[in-house]
C-alpha cells in the first residue's frame, strides 16, 4: 500500500503487526494559503492555510504574492 494521494500533507508510514500499513497524516505543506488582507487599506497581513487553519506570515518565502 502506498501513501495516500494527498499532496497537501506529509504522510508517515506506520507498519502494523497485523494487517496493512497505516499512513498517518503528518505536517501540512500549506499548498493553498489564502490571503488575509486588512479591511481598510487592503494591505496584505498574512496568509491562512485552509487545510490546517494555520496562519502564515505575509512575507513567507515560497508563496507567490
Q: Which residues bind Zn ion (CB under 5 A)?
A: 28, 30, 49, 51-52, 54
Which one-letter DSSP state was computed for residue 5?
A: S
Residue closer to Zn ion (CB basis): 45 or 48: 48
Residue closer to Zn ion (CB basis): 45 or 52: 52
Which one-letter DSSP state was computed for residue 24?
A: E
Residue closer to Zn ion (CB basis): 28 or 45: 28
Q: Least distance (Å) from Zn ion to the CB of residue 28?
A: 3
- All three cell numbers of 54, joined, read 494555520
**Spatial separation of the C-alpha atoms in residues 24 and 13, rounded to whole Å:** 7
Amino acid at each position: 500500500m502506498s501513501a495516500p494521494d494527498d499532496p497537501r500533507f506529509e504522510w508517515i508510514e506506520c507498519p502494523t503487526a497485523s494487517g496493512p500499513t497505516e499512513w498517518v497524516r503528518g505536517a501540512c505543506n500549506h499548498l493553498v494559503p489564502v490571503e488575509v488582507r486588512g479591511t481598510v487599506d487592503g494591505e496584505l497581513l498574512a496568509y491562512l492555510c485552509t487545510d490546517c487553519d494555520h496562519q502564515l506570515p505575509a512575507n513567507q518565502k515560497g508563496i507567490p504574492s
